Amino acid sequence: MPIPTANYLLHANWQLPQTEELSTEQSSWLLETDSLTARLKSRCHLFRLQLLSEQQLALPSLLHKELSCTGTAILREVMLLCDEQPMIYAQSWLPASTLAAIEPLAQLGEQPLGEFIFRHPAITRGPIQLAKLDSRQLALGVACPEARIWARRSVFRLAEYPLQVVEAFLPGIYRL
């Protein structure tokens, strides 16, 4: 996935949820506080995580304050599929200091991030922010019947080591 996708997400209009803008199904998925991986697995016969890329980059300055760190980070991009239908495009920033302290995060491969972090004994999660995105700007490489899709982002801290997770929800997820 090209870096422009990361830049587009970084500069989206992230806001705290206004539930009156959301359908019941959208609220249910977008504001899910447990693992999306676990929820998707419970809703489909065949769950698959497609690792799109992992690359080491300078942590964008826009994230320095939010993650209270600087330096480099792994930008991890995945697609989560249910019965071969793309449901969630996820992009996570894993700072080098977090990876050094919690090494399994650097070895995830096709293991879902959620299966690791939601088992961590000292996990905390910051507020969920939402943004309405132009699906064409995401250049996901998959057909998306709707021009505008919801995305969410939040910062997890594992024993105070931060990482940010951004998830774009493809419309099929609301029919699961």
Bridge partners (DSSP) of residue 38 are none
Q: Confirm or deny that 157 is annotated as ligand binding.
A: no
Binding to ligand ISJ, residues 117-156 (CB under 6 A): none
Interaction of residue 88 with ligand ISJ, rule CB under 6 A: yes
Residue span binding ligand ISJ (CB under 6 A) among the ranges 7-15, 30-38, 53-61, 123-131: 30-38
Interaction of residue 94 with ligand ISJ, rule CB under 6 A: no
Among positions 67, 79, 165, 173, the unique one binding ligand ISJ when judged by CB under 6 A: 165
Q: Confirm or deny that 152 is annotated as ligand binding.
A: no
User: Which residues does the annotation place in the binding site?
Assistant: 76, 113, 167
Instruction: Report the interface residues with ligand ISJ, using CB under 6 A.
Output: 35-37, 49, 76, 78, 80, 88, 90, 92, 112-114, 165, 167
